[in-house]
Each structure stands twice: as C-alpha cells, then as structure tokens.
C-alpha cells in the first residue's frame, strides 16, 4: 500500500521526525481560511509533483485561493487531485535524500543517502552514482552508530549528527514496526531550526497486511474518502475505476466484460488490482487515460496489465492507437496482455504487432498469461 504524503508525514510526526506545520485541504471553502505564505502540495500517489507543477509556493492570500482552485480537481500525472496539503513554507539551506529500502538482490535492508536531495534519485544514481551512499545493515540488529556516523560524514552533516541520528532511528523504527518496503524522505532539509522532512514516500508491504491490520485500515479509510471524492469529480464520466487488492491491472470496454475478466483472473489464481471500465463507445484518449489511471492509482505494485476489448461500437484501431500512444509516452513497466476482437479488429491487431505488442484472440489465454506474469513465471 502506497501512502499519500500527508499520511507519511503523520507517521513521521508520531515518531518524532520534524515535519512542517500542515493542514489537509479538500474544498474551495477551506482555501479561504488559509493564511499565506504557504506551500500548496497536490496529494497524489505518484512522485515528481514539483516538476509537474503540483507543488506551488503562495506568498499572498489571493494566490493561495487562485492556485488552490486551479489545483483542486486538476489532473496530475493521470491522477485527479482532490486533496492538497497546505504547508508552512520552510527556509531551506540544503536538500538531502534519505531512504530505507529492501534490496531484493542482497536480500537485506539498505539505507540510501545523498546530498543531491530534491532530485529524482534514479537520475542521480544513473548520472552521478558517486553522490549516493548505500549501506546495508543487519535486519535484526538494525543500523548502528557506525552507520549513522558514516552517513553524517558522507553528507557533511557532522555538526548535525545528533539530529540526523534521531531521524535515521525514527525511520528505522517505522520501517521495522510497520513492515514498510520503503521509507523515503526526499528532500530532508537543513534549516536554521534543524533537519526537517519536507516530503514523505512510504510503501507498506502488502504481504504484511495480516499483522498490520490497524494501520492498513486507518490509512485505507482515509484514502477511500479521497478516492470516492475522486470518482465523483471525474467529469469525463467514461472511466469507472475501483481500486482492488491484487497486482494485475485490468481494463475493459464494458462492465460485463470487466466482471467476467475479474472472475477469470481469480479462476486462474490471480488477483486484480482494479476494476477499470471505459464504456462500450470510447476513444483513443479514453484508452490512454484508462492506462494512466490504472498505473498511477494502483495501491499495490502492478505485475502485469490485462486489457480486454470487445469491439461492438468500439473501434479496435482506435483502442490500439491509445495503447501505443501511452507506451510511446511512458513506456510499459509491466508486461501487457491485450485481447481484442470486433470492429476494425484486423487493423487494430496489425498496429499492435507493428509496435511490438502481442495480442491474443483467446480470452482465457490472455488472462492466464497475465496471471502467470504476475506470479513471475
Ligand atoms: P515531489 O517530490 O513530488 O516533487 P516534494 O514534496 O519533494 O514533491 O516538493 C518538491 C520541492 O518543493 C522540494 O524539493 C522543495 O524544494 C520544495 N518544497 C516542498 N515543500 C516545501 C515547503 N513546505 N517549504 C518550502 N519548499 C518546499
Ligand atoms: Mg519529493
């Protein structure tokens, strides 16, 4: 389960990591009650909000209301923004990156630290790997003072060692106590008042839900409130999206087809990540948006994507166009299994094959392959 920034910061605050004063805003009326200067931050599950225009510094009340109205209800990286975090504006001396993750290859937890904070860490890793420190530690013993001092030296934060140690200890406590697969602070900032977590990214391990029922329930309820709002505010009215618990993304062009696909996924031993339905008379844009929605709003990490299309009114060449456009813009992070038939089927299939995307004639075969891919076979 991925947490929103406001939820992660709540956990940070509970365990003693300093975070800015903040308030969750969900309506235009709430905006009128705020006092500048503040930073308005779109609450969506994907990162890179700053770059995409979803984090805005507002220096006066007029711009707070204006920017807030612009952000609420807007679409950010395919997700509808229906909550903002209105946050105290912090005077930043320097931005750092810190995270606790599980390294699948090493089969060990890692601390990752960098003084190149505020940027995408994947990019730093690729272009300037020397700016990143990775330290593994014993999962039972936890990180030791040696780790804290190594990190403080690497970040040139020797004078802030005490503060840094407190942050790292608290991150480890969260990581451990809540079975997190990721606790990331990017950026952690140095200020005249000490170290403050300006952002939060927390993923809880779905496989641990059975022993973390309370925290999953608390955060899921908060997310439902926001996402129900989200569904109501969708003005396109064409895409129905309901998040589910599994790891196989599912898109269909009809509710009946969607229900059938969910049943088949289960019959083959898989679990769907969503019910996403586009209606039976749709366009390349809607197909594209459906893919954006499924990738951006999945609460668990997707392992495969199944698209089941039955062209009655729907044109398969148009559906293929939407899928291919999405692939060209964003790439595909998981294997895609498309079954299409009906109107303009031959053209649609040819377009898919020309773009290197496999298509299936047989519904069950497509479902079975998607389930196998999700199981890593
Ligand atoms: P994202 O990672 O999704 O882009 P962040 O929360 O990291 O969002 O914000 C992006 C940038 O905006 C940060 O690197 C920081 O420079 C700035 N920023 C975020 N929150 C604040 C704040 N409360 N005060 C001042 N600057 C902020
Ligand atoms: Mg960030």
Count CB-CB contacts under 10 A for residue 335: 16
Q: Is the pLDDT of residue 236 over 50?
A: no
pLDDT given at position 266: 97
Class of the CATH domain delimited by 94-206: alpha beta
Average pLDDT, the chain: 92
**Token code pair at residue 145:** 């003072």
Mean pLDDT value across residues 267-296: 90
Q: Could you report the per-residue pLDDT of 44-69, keeping only the tens digit for each?
A: 998 999 999 999 999 999 999 999 99
Q: Is the pLDDT of residue 310 over 90?
A: no
Q: How far apart are CA 377 and CA 372, in angstroms?
A: 5
pLDDT given at position 311: 78
CB 204 within 8 A of CB 215: yes
Can 184 be counted among the known catalytic residues?
yes
Q: Which residue has the higher pLDDT, 76 or 111?
A: 111
pLDDT over 70 for what percent of the chain? 97
Residues 6+ apart with CB under 8 A from 30: none
Most ligand 1 atoms within 8 A of CB, residue of 198, 200, 201, 296 to mutate: 198
Q: Which residue has the higher pLDDT, 73 or 42?
A: 42
Q: Tokens 């031993």, residue?
A: 269
Cα R_g (the chain), whole angstroms: 22
Question: What spacing in Å lies between the alpha carbon of 39 and ligand 1's midpoint?
Answer: 8
Q: Could you report the per-residue pLDDT of 171-185, keeping only the tens digit for each?
A: 999 999 999 999 999
The number of the ligand 1 atom at minimal distance from the alpha carbon of 5 is 6
CATH architecture of 21-88: 2-Layer Sandwich (3.30)
Name the superfamily (CATH) of residues 236-374. Succinyl-CoA synthetase domains (3.40.50.261)
- pLDDT band at 229; cut points 50, 70, 90: low
Residues 6+ apart with CB under 8 A from 41: 5, 49, 54, 55, 84, 85, 86, 87
**Token code pair at residue 275:** 């019910």
- pLDDT band at 234; cut points 50, 70, 90: very low
Ligand 1 lined by 49 (C-beta under 6 Å): yes
Q: What stretch of H or E contains 309?
A: strand 304-311
- For the chain, what are the domain ranges? 21-88, 94-206, 236-374
Q: Is the pLDDT of residue 302 over 60?
A: yes
Nearest ligand to the CA atom of 117: 1
Question: What spacing in Å lies between the alpha carbon of 40 and ligand 1's midpoint?
Answer: 10
């Amino acid at each position: 389960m991925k947490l929103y920034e406001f939820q992660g910061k709540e956990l940070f605050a509970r365990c003693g990591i300093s975070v800015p004063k903040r308030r969750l805003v969900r309506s235009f009326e709430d905006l009128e009650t705020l006092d500048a200067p503040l930073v308005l931050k779109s609450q969506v599950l994907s990162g890179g909000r700053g770059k995409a225009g979803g984090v805005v510094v507002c220096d006066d009340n007029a711009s707070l209301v204006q920017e807030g109205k612009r952000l609420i209800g807007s679409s950010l990286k395919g997700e509808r923004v229906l909550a903002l975090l209105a946050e105290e504006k912090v005077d930043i001396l320097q931005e750092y990156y810190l995270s606790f993750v599980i390294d699948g290859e090493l089969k060990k937890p890692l601390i990752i630290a960098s003084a190149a904070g505020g940027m995408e860490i994947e990019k730093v890793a690729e272009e300037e790997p020397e700016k990143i420190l990775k330290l593994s530690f014993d999962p039972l013993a936890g990180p030791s003072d040696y780790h804290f001092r190594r990190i403080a030296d690497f970040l040139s934060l020797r004078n802030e060692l005490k503060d840094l140690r407190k942050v790292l200890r608290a991150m480890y406590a969260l990581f451990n106590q809540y079975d997190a697969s990721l606790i990331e602070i990017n950026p952690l900032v140095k200020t005249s008042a000490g170290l403050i977590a300006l952002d939060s990214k927390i993923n809880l391990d779905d496989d641990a839900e059975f022993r973390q029922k309370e925290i999953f329930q608390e955060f899921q309820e908060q997310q439902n409130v926001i996402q129900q709002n989200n569904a109501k505010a969708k003005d396109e009215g064409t895409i129905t999206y309901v998040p589910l618990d599994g790891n196989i993304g599912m898109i269909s062009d009809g509710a009946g087809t969607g229900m059938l696909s969910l049943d088949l996924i289960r019959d083959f031993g898989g679990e769907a990540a969503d019910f996403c339905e586009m209606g039976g008379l749709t366009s390349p844009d809607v197909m594209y948006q459906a893919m954006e929605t499924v990738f951006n709003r999945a609460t668990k990490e997707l392992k495969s994507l199944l698209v089941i299309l039955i062209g009655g009114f729907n044109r398969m060449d148009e559906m293929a166009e939407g899928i291919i456009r999405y692939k060209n813009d964003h790439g595909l992070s998981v294997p895609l299994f498309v079954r299409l038939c009906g109107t303009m089927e031959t053209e649609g299939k040819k377009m898919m094959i020309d773009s290197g995307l496999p298509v299936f004639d047989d519904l069950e075969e497509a479902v079975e392959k998607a389930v196998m891919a999700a199981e890593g076979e």
